[in-house]
Amino acid sequence: MKRIYVNEDWCLGCRLCEYYCAFAATDQKDMARALKGRKIIPNINIEEKDGISFAVNCRHCEEPLCKKACITGAISIADGVITIEKEKCVSCYTCILSCPYGAVSPSESGAVQKCELCENSPACVNGCPNGAIIFSEKEAAV
Amino acid sequence: MNFIYPDYEIVRNPNKCITCRVCERQCANEAHEFLQEENTMTADDAKCVNCHRCVALCPTRALKITESGNTYKQNANWSGKTINEIYRQAGSGGVLLSSMGNPENYPVYFDKILLNASQVTNPSIDPLREPMETKVHLGARPTNIERDQNGHIVNNLPPRISLSMPVMFSAMSYGSISYNAHESMARASAELGIMYNTGEGGLHKNLYKYGENTVVQVASGRFGVHPEYLNSGSAIEIKMGQGAKPGIGGHLPGAKIVGDISRTRMIPEGTDAISPAPHHDIYSIEDLRQLVFSLKEATDYTKPVIVKIAAVHNVAAIASGIARSGADIIAIDGFRGGTGAAPTRMRDHVGIPIELALACVDQRLRDEGIRDNVSLIVGGSIRSSADIVKAVALGADCCYIGSAVLLAFGCHLCRSCHGGKCNWGIATQVPHLVKRLNPEIAHKRLINLMNAWKHEIKEMMGGMGINSIESLKGNRLMLRGVGLNSNELEILGIKHAGE
């Protein structure tokens, strides 16, 4: 299955991935109109310290702890992609507590949100200016 | 008091800016700033070098850079630029420094030369349907055919280099540009079947594996030169001069001599790398001959030796001497050639255009019957495939490109290389800036550029009815001048359009 991998050697910490991610979650055509004046809640987040930076997002685990933790069955897995049915989410945030990568977060509506791979064309990958985020079958390809 | 008003203005469209702060994070000059309380961005125009990193990365195209438009009282003699230079020097007492090629308004002869094409009486060739040869071989050419007792031809070819197209990436040292830039050139050369030049800073151990596609340079500072280095490449270049700064040496500040650069150059960390103006062991063609043969001896006569000189007034006579020195290839660098740092006055006022230098050198070597002693490489602002075709028709065997390579990597010709804070990760050694140039991306862009040029070269050759680049070499009948006086036409050895 294709996953998103990040190579910290090439991550510049520019945070464009965060903005392209947040933009992809809207259904607008123009990024300025979509994100102007809004505080974004991206599903990919840059972590940085001491000059090293890299993006973190959902690993799409084979045995996802978030799915195990979900009390309403809102989290499901299909073809390896872990998705959330927002209608079923009761905002108990147990998934947020159980995800070891911090890849699940509360959305503006209260239901949780996470990376769902943009229907196999991740906006963060397409928007990364330095090829630091790639979408591939194997991590070795980074 | 600061006399100088910023040359450029950072224009931000507040309706488009989403305060993502990418511009702020990406500007090594710290021109952009986020105002927390007002939740807006602001910019200090005085810090902007107009490198366009922020413009290129702004996700909403909220940014552009324009000329600030501030003007002094109009004066045809004292331009704003000249006035500012005086203010700058009166303030600092220092020599003005510049980078990249001469930007001043001198004639560009390539732009005053037009190519021929076939019509009716001679067939043009469609390169998409018929074979088209762009391969070139550089080195001395034997003047006689030797046969053994049985009449078989004896291979008496001197050492040579073969290139899939008449282009090489010119000398830019590891130190003046980043490791990632070097790796990108090395990988692109290997894939394209052409060569790149190490410049005078030695060769990083990791890049020895691309030796087949490497020209190793020996310059006046002799940095990083040792037997293994000389034997690692396919050709050796002696750098006598550089088009951007003929007659002077180089100076890489100690701040850039860090880690691997210090190891590769074989000098202590933090020491300035000073290349003397002359080679202190070369004061004549005879001395040059000694170095040429020392290098040949060191490499067992297996590699051609290139001698690179800047295009200066006496270039034809100098080239004639070099052609008799035992060198296999002469490289001539025109006055528009780039640099990582040069005194402004040297860059802008010394040397001659490469088109004229090439034409007069090729003619001189032909007149003296020694053209086959050497191949000719020309550089110093080869900007397009058309420039290459014109240079070949004027007599060049091959072209060096440098600035075009850097542009392919992302360089925006802001000409601030000497500041060492290249926002594109090219002319810098600051680790967080160097990583901005990912060789995986950069080498592919360079390959794309070269493949595009190769297609264009074939189209232009086909139009002229020529199917091999070797048949175009020195074929000045394929060229016509426009707007050139008779003296210029005579030097270029071409007719005026209409003749």
Which domain CATH number covers B277? 3.20.20.70
Determine, yes or no, domain membership for B476. yes
A6 lies in the same domain as A25: yes
| Cβ burial, residue B314 (10 Å; 0-12/13-18/19+) | exposed
A1 lies in the same domain as A54: yes
A104 lies in the same domain as A73: yes
What is the bridge-based pairing of β-strands B146-147 and A3-6?
unpaired
Which domain CATH number covers B33? 3.30.70.20
B195 lies in the same domain as B308: yes
A13 lies in the same domain as A32: yes
Report yes or no: A32 at the B interface, CB cutoff 8 Å.
yes
Task: Please indicate whether, in this complex, the C-beta atoms of B59 and A31 are within 8 angstroms of each other.
Answer: yes
Report yes or no: B115 at the A interface, CB cutoff 8 Å.
no
Task: Please indicate whether, in this complex, the C-beta atoms of A131 and B21 are within 8 angstroms of each other.
Answer: no
Q: How many domains does chain A have?
A: 2
Residue with tokens 């060769």: B203
DSSP letters along chain A, please?
A: --EEEE-TTT-----HHHHHHHHHTS--S-HHHHHTTPPP--SSEEEEETTEEEEE-----SS-HHHHH-SSS-EEEETTEEEE-TTT-----HHHHH-TT---EE-TTSSEE---GGGGS-HHHHH-TTS-EEEES-GGG-
Determine, yes or no, domain membership for B426. yes
Contact residues, chain A, for B25 at CB < 8 Å: 12-15
Contact residues, chain A, for B438 at CB < 8 Å: 10, 130-132
Q: Identify the residue among A9, A18, A19, A53 best suited for mutation to test binding to B, counting B beta carbons within 10 A and taking the highest.
A: A19
State the residue range of the domain holding A53: 1-58+119-142
pLDDT of res. B327 = 98
A70 lies in the same domain as A106: yes
Could you say which residues from 21 to 50 on chain B have a Cβ atom under 8 Å away from some Cβ of chain A?
21-22, 25-26
Task: Please indicate whether, in this complex, the C-beta atoms of B25 and A130 are within 8 angstroms of each other.
Answer: no
Closest CA to B406 of B195, B190, B98, B100: B100
Contact residues, chain A, for B26 at CB < 8 Å: 12, 14
Closest CA to B402 of B324, B467, B333: B333
**B300 Cβ partners below 8 Å, 6+ apart?**
none
Report yes or no: A84 at the B interface, CB cutoff 8 Å.
no
Tokens of B220: 């006046």
Q: Residue A91: count other Cβ atoms within 10 Å of its Cβ.
A: 15
Tell whether the model's pLDDT for residue A99 goes beyond 90. Answer: yes
Domain boundary among B94, B126, B161: B94
A132 lies in the same domain as A98: no
> Chain B closest CA to A114's CA: distance in Å?
21
CA pair distance B454, B127, nearest whole angstrom:
11
**pLDDT, tens digit only, all 499 positions of chain B:** 889 999 999 999 999 999 999 999 999 999 999 999 999 999 999 999 999 999 999 999 999 999 999 999 999 999 999 999 999 999 999 999 999 999 999 999 999 999 999 999 989 999 999 999 999 999 999 988 999 999 999 999 999 999 999 999 999 999 999 999 999 999 999 999 999 999 999 999 999 999 999 999 999 999 999 999 999 999 999 999 999 999 999 888 888 888 999 999 999 999 999 999 999 999 999 999 999 999 999 999 999 999 999 999 999 999 999 999 999 999 999 999 999 999 999 999 999 999 999 999 999 999 999 999 999 999 999 999 999 999 999 999 999 999 999 999 999 999 999 999 999 999 999 999 999 999 999 999 999 999 999 999 999 999 999 999 999 999 999 999 999 999 999 999 999 999 9
User: Which residue from B17, B59, B435 is facing A16, i.e. has the nearest CB?
Assistant: B59
pLDDT of res. B253 = 84
Instruction: Map chain B to HEC letters.
Output: CCCCCCCEEEEECCCCCCCCCHHHHHCCCCCEEEECCCCEEEECHHHCCCCCHHHHHCCCCCEEEEECCCCCCCCCCCCHHHHHHHHHHHHHCCCCEECCCCCCCCCCHHHHEEECCCCCCCCCCCCCCCCCECCEEECCCCCCCEECCCCCEECCCCCCEEECCCEEECCCCECCECHHHHHHHHHHHHHHCCEEECHHHCCCHHHHHHHHHEEEEECCCCCCCCHHHHHHCCEEEEECCCCCCCCCCEEECHHHCCHHHHHHHCCCCCCCEEECCCCCCCCCHHHHHHHHHHHHHHCCCCCCEEEEEECCCCHHHHHHHHHCCCCCEEEEECCCCCCCCEEHHHHHHCCCCHHHHHHHHHHHHHHCCCHHHCEEEEECCCCCHHHHHHHHHHCCCEEEECHHHHHHHCCCCCCCHHHCECCCCCCECCHHHHCCCCHHHHHHHHHHHHHHHHHHHHHHHHHCCCCEHHHHCCCHHHEEECCCCHHHHHHHCCEECCC
Contact residues, chain A, for B59 at CB < 8 Å: 16, 19-20, 23, 31, 127
State the residue range of the domain holding B262: 136-496
Contact residues, chain B, for A30 at CB < 8 Å: 60
B197 lies in the same domain as B254: yes
| Closest Cα in chain B to A22 | B20
pLDDT of res. A140 = 59
| Closest Cα in chain B to A37 | B18
> Chain B closest CA to A37's CA: distance in Å?
7
Q: Residue B111: count other Cβ atoms within 10 Å of its Cβ.
A: 14
Determine, yes or no, domain membership for B102. no
User: Which residue from A14, A31, A51 is facing B18, i.e. has the nearest CB?
Assistant: A31
Q: Identify the residue among B180, B409, B438, B440 best suited for mutation to test binding to A, counting A beta carbons within 10 A and taking the highest.
A: B438
A91 lies in the same domain as A140: no
A135 lies in the same domain as A101: no
Determine, yes or no, domain membership for B204. yes
B375 lies in the same domain as B245: yes
| Closest Cα in chain A to B435 | A10
Tokens of B349: 């006022």
A53 lies in the same domain as A99: no
Q: Residue B230: count other Cβ atoms within 10 Å of its Cβ.
A: 18
Which domain CATH number covers A77? 3.30.70.20
Is the predicted ipTM greater than 0.90, yes or no? yes
**B35 Cβ partners below 8 Å, 6+ apart?**
B41, B42
Could you say which residues from 402 to 441 on chain B have a Cβ atom under 8 Å away from some Cβ of chain A?
431-432, 435-436, 438, 440-441
Determine, yes or no, domain membership for B381. yes
CB pairs under 8 A between A and B: 61
CA pair distance B204, B201, nearest whole angstrom:
9
A66 lies in the same domain as A81: yes
A70 lies in the same domain as A81: yes
B90 lies in the same domain as B167: no
User: Which residue from B16, B26, B59 is facing A20, i.e. has the nearest CB?
Assistant: B59
B358 lies in the same domain as B249: yes
User: Which residue from A9, A32, A127 is facing B18, i.e. has the nearest CB?
Assistant: A32
> Chain A closest CA to B55's CA: distance in Å?
13
Domain boundary among B40, B62, B94: B94
Task: State the Cα torsion B169-B175-B178-B181 to the nearest 10°.
Answer: 10
Closest CA to A34 of A45, A20, A46: A20
Determine, yes or no, domain membership for B117. no
Contact assessment for residue A133 and residue A55, using Cβ atoms and an 8 Å cutoff: yes
**What is the end-to-end Cα distance of chain A in Å, rounded?**
15
Domain boundary among B25, B60, B94: B94
Q: How many domains does chain B have?
A: 2
To the nearest whole percent, how much of chain A has pLDDT over 90?
91
A50 lies in the same domain as A5: yes
CA distance to B102, B149, B215, B298, per residue, from B226 (Å): 33, 41, 14, 10
B206 lies in the same domain as B336: yes
User: Which residue from B15, B22, B25 is facing A32, i.e. has the nearest CB?
Assistant: B15
> Chain B closest CA to A135's CA: distance in Å?
15
Task: Please indicate whether, in this complex, the C-beta atoms of A36 and B62 are within 8 angstroms of each other.
Answer: no
Residue with tokens 């910290």: A8
Task: Please indicate whether, in this complex, the C-beta atoms of B21 and A15 are within 8 angstroms of each other.
Answer: yes
Report yes or no: A23 at the B interface, CB cutoff 8 Å.
yes
Task: Please indicate whether, in this complex, the C-beta atoms of A10 and B16 are within 8 angstroms of each other.
Answer: no
Q: What value does the mean pLDDT take over residues A32-52?
A: 94
> Chain A closest CA to B46's CA: distance in Å?
23
